Amino acid sequence: MKIKVIHGPNLNMLGIREVNIYGPMKLDDINKNLQNVAKQNGFEIEFFQSNHEGDIVDAIQESLEDGTNAILINPAALTHTSVSIRDAIAAVKLPVIEVHMTNVAAREDFRQKSMISDIVAGTITGLGPLSYHLGLVGLMEILNQIKRAQEIQQAQAQKGN
């Protein structure tokens, strides 16, 4: 099964930008850690980062055609403003977990509202790079539960025939 990780604007600057807030870890390091965890658990993982809202919407929509089973997303600053990202997530109907490295509820007022938190499976915030790790673990568990439910349904259907 495949999980797509989508990183929003300025996350390519991790380790450089506001290290006092976001920490010293670079995005490539976060991605490598996620890659290792996914591989150890038998999952394929794909990474996407953009500073452009439309590109992120395209990446979400392409999930319907590229074999993606779930999405881990940090929309970054677009979390608070993007109706188009919200609409794309709602349209694809895949399990999605929203992550943020900082505790957005403890930051500026404008950062405390997420446009997507009410339509995603879960939100993990405030734990730095660990937020990504926990989000990935959560998605892997959701996908494993879906797989088990499908296997049970198939077994029951075979017994009924």
pLDDT tens-digit readout, 60-110: 999 999 999 999 999 999 999 899 999 999 999 999 999 999 887 766 676
Q: Does the structure show a pLDDT above 90 at 161?
A: no
Residue of 7, 52, 80, 100 marked catalytic: 100
Number of domains in the chain: 1
Supply 130's token pair: 């660990």
Residue of 7, 22, 80, 133 marked catalytic: 22
**What is the value of pTM for the model shown?**
0.92
How far apart are alpha carbons 102 and 6 in whole angstroms? 17
Instruction: Please report, rounded to a whole number, the percentage of residues in the chain having pLDDT higher than 70.
Output: 95
pLDDT tens for each residue of 107-154? 667 666 888 999 999 999 999 999 999 999 999 999 999 999 999 999
CATH of the domain at 73: 3.40.50.9100
How far apart are alpha carbons 112 and 1 in whole angstroms? 33
Write down the pLDDT at residue 107.
66
22 is catalytic: yes
Q: Which of 75, 103, 105 is nearest to 89 (CA)?
A: 75
52 is catalytic: no
Which amino acid, one-letter code, is at 88? A
The partner residues of 68 in beta bridges, in order of sequence, read: 2
Q: Which domain holds residue 72?
A: 2-160
